[in-house]
Structure 1
Amino acid sequence: MEIYQHFREEERPFIDQVLSLQDDVEMRYQRKETDFLDPREQHIFESLLRNQPNLTWSLFGGSVLTERKRAIVAPEYETITSEDFSICLLETHYHDKFIQLEHRDVLGAFMSLGIKREKLGDLIVQNGKIQIIVASEISDYIRMNFTAVKKANVQFAEKPFNHLMKSSEEWKTVDTTISSLRLDVVLKEIYGVSRKKASMFIEAGHVKVNFRTVEQPSYPLEEGDLLSLRGRGRSRLMEIYGTTRKDKFRVTLAKLN
């Protein structure tokens, strides 16, 4: 199909999933809801559904600022509101004077319960408080079984979304030019390492693009791609504006402080 040529080969299964969802809604005239989608999946979802006159759709993950969101697809005559999404906010407290917890600690504890990552939305850890946005269908299971993170005993309770904390994470952006959209070139620019070192990180499996490990330094990046380098945090290729007279790419890069 022509549609595949606009996306990456490894994204075909997700594209097929969205197309199947679209066909199902059109045939049955019943709305469908996805699991939580990462930003790249949201981009693909929007691209596929944008020009479908018989359908309406929406994305929501707890607030307009959340990164991970569920999607609802419905017949075009229906109205979708934020209350229609099967998500809930769970919150717990811990003694941050005695125990230091990070995002990865909580995520690791969550994943150890055997739950798919796709059932978890955004996760915030700050000021002795943990908030997780989860699919409503696993809320009871989480509250019964998610009782500890490292040495901290926790007990989650459901809260309304107006209690959702604003993440303290800050993205620092920079406008620059780069010679190529290869992964090793962009990694070099963002993290201030040599291109050789960037390639070593990639080949060692220390780099993820859109939450998937990529081991090819020549891997071509696209606008909106989310990167992570083990031990050095996350970054993003925010925008691509075209090329200069010397055929360099004008881009905006962002790094999470």
Structure 2
Amino acid sequence: MDLYQHFREEEYPYIDQVLSWRDEVTERYHSKLTDFLHPREQKIFQSLIGNEETLKLQFFGAWEDAERKRALLTPFYEEITAKSFEVELLQAKYPEKFVTISHPDVLGAFLSAGIERKKLGDITINDGYIQILVAKDITTYLISNVTSIKKANVQFHSIPFSQLLDSTNRWVENTATCSSLRLDVLIKEMYQTSRQQAADLIKKGLVKVNFQTIEQAAFLLEEGDMLSVRGKGRSRLKEIQGKTKKDKVRITFEKLL
């Protein structure tokens, strides 16, 4: 059976990468630690490696509901702990009475410092504190170079995972019946807009699927796909339940409040 038939063509290079990691660990008996992976990448990794009896695969993102996680692939006998993932939790306090800071503000500050997104995990903002999980090898650079967000001066420092703030992610589950799994159709259902408006958003490059801009309205979604529509928030296709008697597709999806 052709392995690639289960995946999208644009995912083939990543599949090749995962398979090369598998071969490397199997043949050389040493571990492979990845950068932070988004949920779709994690799902592909798990589906390709999950049943390998001689290997062990684990993910870590600090928060229980973390989206971005580092993956560690090891021989089955290796012990894996939180330290194995080589990450640090950074925290900074900001004056919430005088400035409002959002997730994009924090991410923008880090990216502006020249950091690649793949080196950064999830971000939580709660009660005047910002926490972000980062790859350990860039911690010193980040602390020195990210000293302001919007108009607020901040000073990040490393803290133990025991001080992890509660995640502020709140997902609300909904069900819907759609004519198909086309991107424009699902945006129409998930964001309560017209199909033409959905098509316009896609054409303007305002829609991402699994963190990649998609400009084809006919793009077909799969279970577990994450959607982001600029100005309208994020959602994910949680489950494809099957078809109705009228040949419609019944889905369960979640929206981030």
TM-score, normalised via structure 1 length: 0.97
Identity %: 54
Q: Is the 8 A contact 1:240 1:251 kept in 2?
A: yes
Which residues in structure 2 correspond to 1:79-94 (within 5 Å)?
79-94=79-94
The residue number in structure 1 matching 2:28 is 28
Partner of 2:42: 42
Deviation of 1:66 (Å): 1.3
Please report how far the alpha carbon of residue 16 of structure 1 lies from its aligned counterpart in structure 2 after TM superposition.
Answer: 1.2
Match of 2:198 in 1: 198
Question: 1:83: Cα distance to partner?
Answer: 2.7
Asked if structure 2 preserves the Cα contact closer than 8 Å seen for 1:62 and 1:87, the reply is no
Q: How does 1:182-221 map to 2 (within 5 A)?
A: 182-221=182-221
- Matched with 2:168 is 168
Out of 242-251 and 91-100, give the one that drifted further. Answer: 242-251
Separation of aligned partners in 1, 2:12 and 2:162: 37
Q: What's 2:62 paired with?
A: 62
Residues 123-149 of structure 1 show CA distances to partners (whole Å, capped at 9, x for unaligned) of 112321111100111111111111111
User: In the alignment, is the contact (CA less than 8 A) between 2:63 and 2:167 conserved in 1?
Assistant: no
State the partner residue of 1:139.
139
Q: Give 1:246 shift.
A: 1.2
Per-residue displacement from partner, 1:10-43 (whole Å, max 9, x unpaired)?
1111111111111111111001100001000000
1:64 Cα deviation after fit: 2.4
3-state SS of the aligned residue for 1:197?
A: helix
Q: CA deviation at 1:115?
A: 1.1
* Cα separation, 2, equivalents of 1:160 and 1:61: 14
Give the aligned partner of residue 159 of structure 1: 159
Distance in 2 between residues matched to 1:78 and 1:126, nearest whole Å: 36
Q: How does 1:242-253 map to 2 (within 5 A)?
A: 242-253=242-253
Q: Give 1:211 shift.
A: 0.4
Match of 1:73 in 2: 73
Amino acid at match of 1:54: T
Task: After superposition, give the CA deviation of every residue in 1:134-184 in whole Å (9 maximum; x if it has no partner).
Answer: 011111111111111111111101111121111222111112211100000
- CA shift, 1:63, in A, is 3.1
3-state SS in 1 of match to 2:155: coil
Structure 1 counterpart of 2:90, one-letter code:
L
Structure 1: distance between partners of 2:211 and 2:254: 16
TM-score between both structures, scaled by the size of structure 2: 0.97
Q: How many Å separate the matches in 2 of 1:223 and 1:83?
A: 32
Q: Distance in 2 between matches of 1:156 and 1:30?
A: 33
RMSD, aligned α-carbons: 1.1
Q: 4+ residue stretches of structure 1 with deviation over 6 A?
A: none
C-alpha distance in 2, partners of 1:80/1:163? 21
Gaps of 5+ in 2: none
2:104 equivalent in structure 1: 104
- Aligned partner of residue 162 in structure 1, secondary structure: helix
Instruction: String of CA shifts for 1:43-89, please: whole Å, max 9, x gaps.
Output: 00000001212211111111322111101111122222223111110
Deviation at 1:254, TM superposition (A): 1.0
How many pairs align?
257
Query: 2:241 touches 2:251 (CA, 8 Å); kept in 1?
Result: yes
Instruction: Give me the whole-angstrom Cα distance separating, in 2, the residues matched to 1:23 and 1:233.
Output: 39
